[in-house]
Amino acid sequence: MPATDSRTALVRRARKVDRVLAATYPDARCELDFEDPFQLLVVTVLSAQTTDRRVNKVRPTLFAAYPDARTMAGADRAALEQIVGPLGFFRQKTESLLKLSHALVEQHDGQVPPRLDDLVKLPGVGRKTANVVLGNAFDIPGITVDTHFGRLVRRFGWTEETDPVKVEFAIGDLFPKRDWTMLSHHVIWHGRRICHAKKPACGACPVARWCPSYGEGPVDAGEAAKLVRTEGPA
């Protein structure tokens, strides 16, 4: 935390930023489409190294062919590769889906377990993916530390940690547990739309006054406005 921030001041500032982001992005949510916990688990695994919008495009075809863990576990590898092909790394992703669905069938009777400890034992599932599933499919609060979240909480001065697990615990300590899932959405939406990695739109940022990193990007309102995205990356 910044040297001038006491613990109490940091908590107040962090929660103020979250309230402003909540008002800025009232529709913030998981940007991956899904209908049940299995679908969310699969599309979250597929979203690695690609965008949510691309995953959403293949989702209907994927789940029309393999609606549950049992059918996906028995999928023909070549057919599954063809469906996930547009996402890149299709062989690796096909292997991940086959291993994941087999594990769900063998260990959990084909159901997605609503417990962090069980989820992270599944092939290809780390804490980030597990928290996405828990928070959005089961309403169990979790903090999703993706690249956007990690970048922004460090820019905000909420933590200096870089390890995702340490970031998760550090930020979780600043907010009530009930707020964790929506906090993740607010921060990630802001990272995708305004607080970009290479050139943040500082002059168009609704939380600039509380951000110690203000000025890393253009502060001119007109220049910054050109950098603002109305939706997540394609």
128 is catalytic: yes
DSSP per-residue codes, 188-210: HHHHHHTS-SSS--GGG-TTGGG
**For residues 151 and 162, what is the distance between their CA atoms, to the nearest angstrom?**
9
What the block records as the tokens of 89 is 């790394």
**96: Cα separation from own chain's centroid:** 19
121 is catalytic: no
> CB–CB of 135/159 below 8 Å?
no
- Determine which one of 18, 52, 93, 146 is catalytic: 146
Secondary structure (3-state) at 165: helix
- Determine which one of 128, 139, 163, 173 is catalytic: 128
Which positions are catalytic?
128, 146
